[in-house]
Amino acid sequence: MTYPNPTRRSFFKTSAAVAVSSPLISGLLSARADDAKGRLIAYVGTFSSPLQDVLPTQVDLPPGNGRGIHLFDVNRTTGALTAIGLQEMGTSPSCLALNANGTRIYSANETDRVGDGNEGSVSAFAINHEHGKLELLNTVRSGGAGPTYVSVHPNGRFLLVANYFGGSVAVLPILPDGRLGEPADIKNDAGEIGPTRATNAPPGSFALSGHDRTHAHMIQADAAGRFVLHVDLGLDQIFVWKFNEQTGQLTPGDHPVVSLPPGDGPRHFHFHPNGRWFYSIQEEGSTIVLFDYEAATGKLTPRQTISTLPAGFAGSNFCSEILVSADGRFVYAGNRLHDSIGIFSVGQTGELSHVADEWTRGNYPRSFNFDPTGDFLYCCNQRGDNIATFKVNRQTGALDFTGQYTPVGNPSIIVFLDLAKSS
């Protein structure tokens, strides 16, 4: 068989056609690769009602541009998010938590009110594993006003809730069908409120948001589930509770309280994968504190304090999220107003060294999260109404902006569900 000799003109026509179609071919190959692995879904919780009308004294309240829980398909190759659905909620589902097998998702509804009182609510949803859509199972009282954080206990039988505006934490039973029961226990924080000026505030800081009363900001169990820890920003304290896995009752641990410097305002924390190091981020102090954690007793012992901001920074800043990479090599810290993510390397003894600061490409980064592979980081820019996507350099910890902005009104949190691995 003989083949015709291509002319120069036909060669360039063919080359041009290939060049034009190559992005399409690349996209199709990427989609096929994603299909082979199974769908990856992102759920984005938002502020979806005007909090100013309800709680006018606070300074950190968004205009409520979100519409509830937004659903996205995640391209595993490029990190791109494609909108696929919406669970409309006008109650600001600002925090979301998945159960271990990915069949249920729970939301803290920060502006909802139950009955005639000032108590907030938490909702439970079933997840349809064909397309990731949500079905509301039930909504129950949260045990206090303004629930701002939820997490699932490792045994899967209880949901832990931190009520920011109520200054309380609660334990809600998770029933066999995934619905939530009435609180099994509620603890109200009490003590001396810290000063409005943080001990470790940057020069010229006016970060005074949370020292007007008690503010429970985060609650989570350790890996074994023996102890439950929660922070109160207004008291500048971390509480350690023994947890009864049968009843859901909380009792003070042998080392029940750890105090942070006055006014610094502990907000969130994250355990290192080895379970022995515990990192707390302070909202007004703009610091990370490294603690040694004794899993047998729940004891926390502080060992290092480091600023989340670059050397020489002056002015106001509110810290937000803190995450340890899955391999334990890096810690990432969110800075609002400075609008950056501080990147820190983890030394052999857990101590942190500043590596770099990455601009978040948006205003007021409330939280961020890794995709399940750890290859991409997604930053929820609350006041910028977008999610910015970054490629993670696993060797250096650096964050490289992909150029992808995903529009979402007042995004607060993003969590991921791999439909191929859930059941």
Report the percentage of the chain scoring pLDDT > 90: 82
What's the CA gap between 350 and 216, in Å, rounded?
27
Biggest CA pair distance of the chain: 91
Q: How many CA atoms lie within 13 A of 257 on its CB side?
A: 9
What's the CA gap between 63 and 66, in Å, rounded?
9
Q: How many CA atoms lie within 13 A of 385 on its CB side?
A: 9
Count helices and strands in the chain by DSSP H and E runs? 1, 28
What is the tens place of the pLDDT at every residue in 249-306? Answer: 999 999 999 999 999 999 999 999 999 999 999 999 999 999 999 999 999 999 999 9
Q: Which CATH architecture has domain 189-359?
A: 7 Propeller (2.130)
Least confident piece of the model among 201-210, 221-230, 370-379? 201-210
pLDDT band at 210 (very low <50, low <70, confident <90, very high): confident
Does residue 61 have a pLDDT over 70? no
DSSP E strands: which ranges in 128-249?
Answer: 134-141, 147-152, 158-163, 168-173, 185-188, 216-221, 227-232, 237-243
pLDDT band at 49 (very low <50, low <70, confident <90, very high): confident
Does residue 60 have a pLDDT over 80? no
Does residue 388 have a pLDDT over 50? yes
Does residue 418 have a pLDDT over 80? yes
Confidence (pLDDT) at 113? 77
Confidence (pLDDT) at 21? 41
Triad 273, 276, 278: Cα angle to 5°? 80
Taking CA atoms, 417 is separated from 67, 75, 133, 301, in Å, by 20, 13, 11, 35
pLDDT band at 317 (very low <50, low <70, confident <90, very high): very high
pLDDT band at 50 (very low <50, low <70, confident <90, very high): low
User: What's the whole-number mean pLDDT along residues 395-414?
Assistant: 98
Does residue 18 have a pLDDT over 50? no
Confidence (pLDDT) at 116? 67
Least confident piece of the model among 4-13, 41-50, 236-245, 288-297? 4-13
pLDDT band at 15 (very low <50, low <70, confident <90, very high): very low
What is the tens place of the pLDDT at every residue in 93-148? Answer: 999 999 999 999 999 999 877 766 688 999 999 999 999 999 999 999 999 999 99
Pairing of strands 318-324, 68-74: unpaired
User: What's the whole-number mean pLDDT along residues 191-206?
Assistant: 94
Does residue 9 have a pLDDT over 50? no
